[in-house]
């Protein structure tokens, strides 16, 4: 009856082999969820398995039985994929504006500023993934994204010349909105840091990560119906705290409500 | 913001995130991990991703046609050759484990459902290893744990399960070893006397006599704490099943099955019983992990083996 830290290599190898089908299932799910191409998928699979075997199965040796092994392997593989993608594509961080605008805006931003597509190409790709949104709406969404450094210039002329071109938000209104949001975000982070840990995490999940209430309920194992009034109460607390900091009530209410409608 | 390489802001370990997902953290540990998540976008993103993948896994996502075919072949084998005998063996338990707190006779039924493979001399050692009879806790003089009634009951439950499995295996030597181990675990005079009376009749012990013995041992320290005896029986039955890890074992551990439903009830009852005294926290924590462990294959079952070893050790201390 050996503990993980005293298990010998043969035991750990046996554990690895016994769970190899499960590991492969998890990797296949990750490949599907992240839409990895065939080459990337094969490369990730072999690299991830190497990481699990490396240093005499160090990953398995570290397992302290505080969770099920399947769940542990899942979190390890999630982290490995994140490391793998960072190495492949560099450390990508979405802008605050795209994060607020939602998952479609995040996708557009990645396609344009990380993967180097033109706006037209990114809109076409996003439309095929989200056929419920027409290209005009997507173009308007793309035009509202903040400019970021990229190797190639965005082909805005092509967008403007098109007869369906959206009205691009001009500098001063967008800049004012961005400045207001930055002020609110700093104040919000300060308020959230004073909340109890579970409330702080719920706020981050709902307002920063835009998770559904069902997802929050599942991940934190909380009662879903009880979360709705709890989040409403948190919104009220956030608004009150921001007002105390002298931030304009109408603008704040609009921003906070806008975050919570996803 | 530019697309440059930035330091990764990760603080939570994969096991912290896994334990949070499985709901196996103590309240103070959960607070610690939540505090970490409140500061780390990367950890939060990984938590969400892992949770989504696990949900798909539990919904039975099959990665490849080959994996699907392997699963289907195994499922057919298991149904044809294992399910019916196992259900018949658990028949007594099936009738009785509908109460919120199972009775000793129902726990005995569970122990009798432990799959043993072939029967006869040496079959216990063949199925469960040469050290199957070792208790997993120290039995030196001055072992302070025997001062706790819940621990004494747990130990008796563990050894009774061994006796039942030895009878299922029709391994006479193993039956004798198991009854001696049960006598050692029986800490009160009356409990020891009952075991010795059974021992004196020789092996094998009739099923009805074993059931009567189990009922008596369960209440030997007071009926209100009998749940610790039940936990001992459950843990040892599960540990032996996981150790052998035959395809039949997946029946024992299937989520909707008798054994796992019983485990949920036992965890609840033991938490109520231990409330305020902080007893057996390690045991309960280990069992919560077992209860949350999805089992779809023999490899999932074998991964429970070490966990259940830990649980038995924790309960017997």
What is the rounded distance in angstroms from the CA atom of residue A145 to the CA atom of residue B301? 50
pLDDT in tens, chain A (262 residues): 344 455 678 888 888 988 898 899 999 999 988 878 888 899 999 999 999 999 999 999 999 888 888 999 999 999 999 999 888 766 666 776 787 677 788 888 888 887 778 888 888 888 887 888 888 889 888 888 887 765 433 333 333 344 444 444 445 565 666 676 677 777 777 878 888 999 999 998 987 777 888 889 989 999 989 999 999 988 888 888 778 877 765 666 666 665 554 4
3-state helix, strand, coil in chain A (%, to 5): 75, 0, 25
For residue B10, what pLDDT is reported? 66
**Nearest-Cα residue of chain B relative to residue A203:** B38
What is the rounded distance in angstroms from the CA atom of residue B282 to the CA atom of residue B200? 37
Q: B52 φ, ψ to 5°?
A: -65, -40
Which residues, including other chains, have CB under 8 Å from residue A118's CB and lie 6 or more apart?
A112, A152, A154, A155, A158
Shortest Cα distance from B186 to chain A (angstroms)? 24
Kindly state the tokens that stand for B50.
């892992």
Kindly state the tokens that stand for B110.
């569970």
Q: How many alpha carbons fall within 13 Å on the CB side of residue A38?
A: 0
Confidence class for position B84, pLDDT limits 50, 70, 90 = very low
What is the rounded distance in angstroms from the CA atom of residue B64 to the CA atom of residue B70? 10
Nearest CB to B1: which of A18, A95, A209? A95
- A74 and B300 within 8 Å at the Cβ level: the answer is no
Nearest CB to A75: which of B18, B23, B289? B18
DSSP per residue, A77-88: HHHHHHHHHHHH
- B2 and A63 within 8 Å at the Cβ level: the answer is no
**Nearest-Cα residue of chain B relative to residue A216:** B48
Tens of pLDDT, residues B266-286: 888 888 887 556 678 888 888
Tell me which long-range contacts A8-14 makes (C-beta under 8 A, separation of at least 24). Answer: A9/A56, A9/A57, A12/A56, A12/A57, A12/A60, A12/A61, A13/A57
Confidence class for position B258, pLDDT limits 50, 70, 90 = confident
Q: How many CB atoms lie within 10 A of CB B272?
A: 10
What is the rounded distance in angstroms from the CA atom of residue B7 to the CA atom of residue B2? 13
Confidence class for position B237, pLDDT limits 50, 70, 90 = very high
Is B227 in contact with B156 (CB distance < 8 Å)?
Answer: no
**B309 in reach of chain A (CB within 8 A):** yes
Which residues, including other chains, have CB under 8 Å from residue B69's CB and lie 6 or more apart?
none
For residue B115, what pLDDT is reported? 83
**Nearest-Cα residue of chain A relative to residue B46:** A78
Tens of pLDDT, residues A28-79: 999 988 878 888 899 999 999 999 999 999 999 999 888 888 999 999 999 9
Nearest CB to A201: which of B37, B289, B303? B37
**A219 in reach of chain B (CB within 8 A):** yes
For residue A177, what pLDDT is reported? 63
**A208 in reach of chain B (CB within 8 A):** yes
For residue A44, what pLDDT is reported? 94
- B48 and A65 within 8 Å at the Cβ level: the answer is no
Question: Based on C-alpha coordinates, what's the Rg of chain B?
Answer: 22
Task: Please identify among residues 275-304 of chain B the ones whose CB lies closer than 8 Å to any CB of chain A.
Answer: 285-286, 289, 292-294, 297-300, 302-303
- B306 and A62 within 8 Å at the Cβ level: the answer is no
Kindly state the tokens that stand for A97.
């504006």
**B246 in reach of chain A (CB within 8 A):** no
**B117 in reach of chain A (CB within 8 A):** no
- H helix and E strand count, chain B: 17, 0
Nearest CB to B21: which of A24, A76, A219? A219
For residue A262, what pLDDT is reported? 41
For residue A258, what pLDDT is reported? 57
Tens of pLDDT, residues B107-160: 888 888 888 877 888 888 888 887 788 777 765 544 555 678 889 999 999 999
| Cα–Cα nearest to B218, from B228, B204, B207 | B228
B63: chain A residues, CB-CB within 8 Å? 24-25, 28-29
Tens of pLDDT, residues B92-112: 344 333 334 445 567 888 888
DSSP-assigned letter for residue A170? P
Is B153 in contact with B133 (CB distance < 8 Å)?
Answer: no
CA distances from B300 to A180, B50, B246, B247, B310 (A): 52, 18, 11, 11, 17
For residue B201, what pLDDT is reported? 81
For residue B292, what pLDDT is reported? 81
For residue A6, what pLDDT is reported? 54
For residue B235, what pLDDT is reported? 94
What is the rounded distance in angstroms from the CA atom of residue A119 to the CA atom of residue A132? 19
Tens of pLDDT, residues B20-75: 998 888 899 999 999 989 888 889 989 999 999 998 887 765 444 554 455 445 44
**B224 in reach of chain A (CB within 8 A):** no
Domain boundaries, chain B: 14-58, 71-315
For residue A175, what pLDDT is reported? 65
* N- to C-terminal Cα separation, chain B: 56
Q: How many CB atoms lie within 10 A of CB B61?
A: 15
Is the bond preceding B204 in cis, omega lying within 30 degrees of 0?
Answer: yes
- B35 and A197 within 8 Å at the Cβ level: the answer is yes
Tens of pLDDT, residues B149-188: 889 999 999 999 999 999 988 888 889 889 988 988 887 8
Cα dihedral: A127, A129, A130, A134 (round 10): 10
Dmax (CA) for chain B in angstroms is 83
- The CA-CA-CA angle for residues A235, B42, A195, to 5°, reads 30
* Higher per-residue confidence, B303 vs B72: B303
Work out the angle between the directed axes of helices B41-58 and A69-89 (0-180°, nearest 10). Answer: 130
For residue B93, what pLDDT is reported? 40
- The ipTM estimated for the assembled molecules is 0.71
A74: chain B residues, CB-CB within 8 Å? 18, 50, 53-54, 57
């Amino acid at each position: 009856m050996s503990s993980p830290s005293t298990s010998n290599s043969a035991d750990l190898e046996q554990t690895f082999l016994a769970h190899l089908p499960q590991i492969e299932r998890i990797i296949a799910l990750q490949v599907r969820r992240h839409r990895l191409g065939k080459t990337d998928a094969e490369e990730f699979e072999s690299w991830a398995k190497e990481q699990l075997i490396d240093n005499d199965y160090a990953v398995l040796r570290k397992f302290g039985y505080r969770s099920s092994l399947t769940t542990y392997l899942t979190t390890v593989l999630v982290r490995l994929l994140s490391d793998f993608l960072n190495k492949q594509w560099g450390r990508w961080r979405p802008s605050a504006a795209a994060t607020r605008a939602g998952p479609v805006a995040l996708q557009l931003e990645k396609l344009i500023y990380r993967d180097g597509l033109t706006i037209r190409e990114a809109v076409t790709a996003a439309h095929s993934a989200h056929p419920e949104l027409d290209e005009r709406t997507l173009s308007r969404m793309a035009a509202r994204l903040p400019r970021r450094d990229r190797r190639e210039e965005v082909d805005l002329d092509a967008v403007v010349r098109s007869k369906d071109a959206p009205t691009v938000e001009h500098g001063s209104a967008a800049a004012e909105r961005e400045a207001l949001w930055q002020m609110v975000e700093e104040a919000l982070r300060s308020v959230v840091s004073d909340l109890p840990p579970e409330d702080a995490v719920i706020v981050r999940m709902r307002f920063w990560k835009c998770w559904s209430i069902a997802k929050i309920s599942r991940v934190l194992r909380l009662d879903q119906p009880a979360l709705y009034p709890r989040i409403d109460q948190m919104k009220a607390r956030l608004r009150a705290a921001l007002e105390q900091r002298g931030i304009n009530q109408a603008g704040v209410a609009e921003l906070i409500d806008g975050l919570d409608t996803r | 913001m530019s697309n440059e390489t930035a330091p990764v802001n990760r603080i939570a370990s994969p096991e912290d995130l896994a334990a949070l997902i499985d709901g196996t953290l103590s309240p103070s540990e959960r607070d610690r991990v939540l505090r970490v998540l409140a500061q780390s976008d990367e950890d939060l993103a990984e938590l969400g991703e892992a949770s989504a993948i696990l949900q798909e896994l539990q919904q039975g996502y099959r990665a490849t046609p080959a994996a699907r075919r392997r699963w289907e072949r195994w499922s057919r084998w298991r149904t044809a050759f294992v399910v019916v005998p196992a259900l018949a063996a658990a028949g007594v338990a099936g009738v009785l484990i509908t109460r919120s707190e199972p009775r000793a006779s129902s726990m005995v039924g569970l122990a009798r459902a432990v799959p043993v493979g072939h029967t006869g001399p040496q079959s216990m050692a063949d199925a469960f290893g040469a050290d199957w009879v070792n208790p997993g806790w120290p039995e030196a003089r001055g072992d302070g744990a025997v001062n706790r009634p819940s621990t004494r009951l747990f130990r008796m439950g563990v050894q009774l399960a061994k006796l039942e499995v030895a009878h299922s295996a029709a391994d006479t030597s193993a039956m004798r070893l198991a009854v001696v181990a049960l006598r050692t675990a029986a800490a009160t005079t009356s409990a020891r006397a009952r075991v010795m009376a059974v021992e004196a009749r020789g092996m094998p012990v009739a099923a009805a006599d074993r059931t009567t013995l189990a009922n008596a041992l369960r209440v030997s320290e007071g009926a209100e704490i009998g749940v610790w005896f039940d936990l001992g029986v459950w843990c040892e039955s599960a540990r032996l099943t996981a150790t052998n890890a035959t395809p039949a074992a997946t029946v024992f551990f299937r989520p909707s099955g008798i054994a796992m439903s019983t485990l949920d009830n036992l965890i609840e009852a033991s938490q109520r019983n231990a409330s305020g005294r902080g007893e057996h926290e390690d045991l309960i924590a280990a069992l919560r992990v077992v209860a949350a462990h999805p089992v779809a294959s023999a490899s999932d079952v074998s991964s429970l083996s070490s966990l259940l070893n830990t649980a038995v050790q924790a309960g017997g201390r």
